[in-house]
Amino acid sequence: MTGSKRAESADLAVPARGLSRRGLLGLAGASVAGIGMGVAGDRAALAASATPEMASGSAEYPFYGRHQAGIVTPAQDRLHFAAFDVSAGTTRAELIELLQDWTIAAASMSAGRDVGEYGAVSGPYDSPPEDTGEAQGLPTAGLTITFGFGPTLFETADGVDRFGLVRRRPAELTSLPHFPGDDLDVGRSDGDLCIQACSNDPQVAVHAIRNLSRIAFGRAALRWSQLGFGRTSSTSTSQATPRNLFGFKDGTANIKAEEPDVVTAQVWVSAADGPAWLAGGSYLVARRIRMTIETWDRSILSEQEAVFGRTKGAGAPLSGGTEFSEPDFALAGRADQPLIGAAAHVRLAHPAQNNGTKLLRRGYNFVDGNDELGRLEAGLFFISFQRSPAQFAAVQLNLAKHDALNEYIRHVGSALFAVPAGTPEGSYVGAPLFA
């Protein structure tokens, strides 16, 4: 986020209007009419002093477009995810204004610019800076910011249609079913709105969520949030398959951006699916999955491989071949038992066992300190995008009932959001919902 960058892009088309007055109040009353004391030269100098180590991840993805960024975008390395509740008393008009403010700020940060007209380090000295500043001097590092709407946004409260959206609710946007073994913490579940910020630099992702939370002040408040330090899925054939905290490659058979037909069939809501306002969007499922890694670490290698149905090293199916070989679920080994067992994760999650259903997975490893028994509070923050929540529900029901992995995991958080299509320049995220 650099001064020079901002100067270079000054003539690009950006929305003419700035943050709403309410948004500026979120920034604690920053007076746009205050005495500007720009230090742009300063900021250019900052950028020049970044070391090569800090300059990694120069990828940049435009915020505006047909679909929201952060879905088929090659999965970045780090995550900050946040769910918000719209504050009591907030009106429909104020909700719209919040989405407008978020759009302007998200577009700005995605382009490597600060939030606001004056940004972090220049501008009225008698006002709080518009941007919090910790991303100064850092490259954009592939930042994407993806917004979603939770089921509760479309509900009534005390008999009143909260935002006049009850009749616009997608039929499928309800709470996810309760799956066997679910052990959900309500404080880590659900939410009216969500924001997924992904970047190759965690400080850039944190900066995005922090500034968007700040802009929401008085209108929406953080309900829960999650940092992820390591991606567990590839969403592009250009990426190596990463490993989860069980030490296994994860997401080998994930949907890849390079398969546009599969993406269309499995990820994007079509106009025919309805509702019309969600066409070109998707559904986001988030699940906080706690791994009991100490127990896992004591299981023998053959058990671990049997649980996944893949080798731990190369990630090849136990039926043979290499990582990307198609598993042969019929191939039998000793005593005529299939080499990939009936309860193996790869079998149960495979499209062949789920009527051809695939999910676009985009999860992250997390460690949130340790519990009082000294066990690492670790696991997988699972995120998937799909055309219909039913896709996730079908696969998850299959897994929750039969997956050998269940001995080592516990689903402790859950949320579902409708992710609107991308935003055309000059509009705001989710505008068709309010049209």
Positions in 76-105 near a second copy (CB under 8 A): 77-78, 80, 82
**Under the phi-then-psi rule, with left for phi > 0, alpha for psi from -120 to 50, and beta for the rest, what region is 363?**
beta
**Binding segment (CB under 8 A) for a second copy, from list 51-59, 273-281, 384-392, 405-413:** 51-59
Nearer to a second copy, 251 or 280 (CB): 251
Nearer to a second copy, 161 or 294 (CB): 294
Residue 65 near a second copy by CB under 8 A:
no
Among 23, 112, 116, 124, binds a second copy (CB under 8 A): 124
Nearer to a second copy, 316 or 431 (CB): 316
Nearer to a second copy, 34 or 356 (CB): 34
Per-residue mark of binding to a second copy, 243-272 (x: CB under 8 A): xxxxxx------------------------
Minimum Å gap between C-beta 56 and a second copy is 5
Residue 127 near a second copy by CB under 8 A:
yes
- E strand or H helix that includes residue 96: helix 92-110
For residue 420, give the amino acid letter.
P
Pick from 419, 411, 374: nearest CA to 393? 411
- E strand or H helix that includes residue 431: helix 431-434
Residue 222 near a second copy by CB under 8 A:
yes
Tokens read off for 221: 């408040």
Among 122, 354, 398, 423, binds a second copy (CB under 8 A): 122
Tokens 């946040």, residue?
A: 82
- The two most distant CA atoms of the chain are separated, in Å, by 82
Cα dihedral: 408, 199, 184, 243 (round 10): -10
Tokens read off for 154: 């479309």
Minimum Å gap between C-beta 197 and a second copy is 12
Q: Are 339 and 333 in contact (CB under 8 A)?
A: yes
Among 376, 394, 397, 412, binds a second copy (CB under 8 A): 376
Pairing relation of β-strands 193-199 and 144-149?
A: antiparallel
